Amino acid sequence: MKLRKVTAASAAVLALAVTATACGSGDGGSGSGGGKKIKIGIKFDQPGIGQKTPQGYSGFDVDVATYVAKKLGYSADQIEWKESKSADRETMLQRGDVDFIAASYSITPERQQKVDFAGPYLLAHQDVLVRADDNSIKSPADLNSKKLCSVTGSTSAQNIKDKLAPKADLLKYPTYSACLNGLQNKAVDALTTDDSILAGYAAQPQFKGKFKLGGFKMTNENYGIGVKKGSDLKNKINKALQDMVADGSWKKAVDKNFGPAGYKNEPAPKIGDIKS
One fold for 38-124+222-261 and 126-213:
yes
Dihedral angle, C-alpha 199, 205, 211, 217, nearest 10 °:
10
Q: What is the pLDDT of residues 109-136, one digit of tens each?
A: 999 999 999 999 999 999 999 999 999 9
Split at pLDDT 50, 70, 90, the class of 171 is: very high
Closest to 236 measured CA to CA, from 20, 47, 30: 30
Q: What is the pLDDT of residues 181-214, one digit of tens each?
A: 999 999 999 999 999 999 999 888 888 899 999 9
C-alpha to C-alpha distances, 111 to 106, 164, 173, 207, nearest whole angstrom: 9, 26, 26, 34
Distance separating alpha carbons of residues 176 and 25, to the nearest angstrom: 40
Between 94 and 2, the more confident residue is 94
Predicted pLDDT at 235: 98
In this structure, CATH architecture of domain 126-213: 3-Layer(aba) Sandwich (3.40)
Mean pLDDT of the chain: 88
Distance separating alpha carbons of residues 96 and 65, to the nearest angstrom: 17
Helix (H, G, I), strand (E, B) or coil at 267: coil
269 has a pLDDT exceeding 60: yes
Predicted pLDDT at 231: 97
9 has a pLDDT exceeding 50: no
Distance separating alpha carbons of residues 137 and 148, to the nearest angstrom: 11
Between 229 and 12, the more confident residue is 229
145 has a pLDDT exceeding 60: yes
> Which stretch of 96-110, 152-166, 178-192, 221-235 has the lowest confidence by average pLDDT?
152-166
Distance separating alpha carbons of residues 29 and 98, to the nearest angstrom: 9
Sequence-ordered list of residues with C-beta below 8 angstroms from that of 197, at least 6 positions apart, any chain: 46, 48, 49, 104, 124, 176
| Percent residues over pLDDT 90 in the chain | 75
| Percent residues over pLDDT 70 in the chain | 87
Predicted pLDDT at 34: 53
Split at pLDDT 50, 70, 90, the class of 151 is: confident
Distance separating alpha carbons of residues 133 and 8, to the nearest angstrom: 81
Supply the pTM of this predicted model.
0.82
For CA atoms 164, 149, 121, 115, give the dihedral sign.
positive
Pick the CATH number of 38-124+222-261 from 3.60.20.30, 3.40.190.10, 3.40.50.720, 3.40.50.2300: 3.40.190.10
Q: What average pLDDT does range 174-182 have in this prediction? A: 90
Predicted pLDDT at 52: 96
How many Å from the N-terminal Cα to the C-terminal Cα in the chain? 74
Predicted pLDDT at 26: 36
- Residue spans per domain, the chain: 38-124+222-261, 126-213
Q: What is the pLDDT of residues 236-258, one digit of tens each?
A: 999 999 999 999 999 999 999 99
Contact 105, 187 (CB under 8 A): no
Classify 145 in phi/psi space as left (phi over 0), alpha (psi -120 to 50) or beta.
left
For CA atoms 48, 49, 52, 57, give the dihedral sign.
positive
Q: Which amino acid is at 91?
A: T
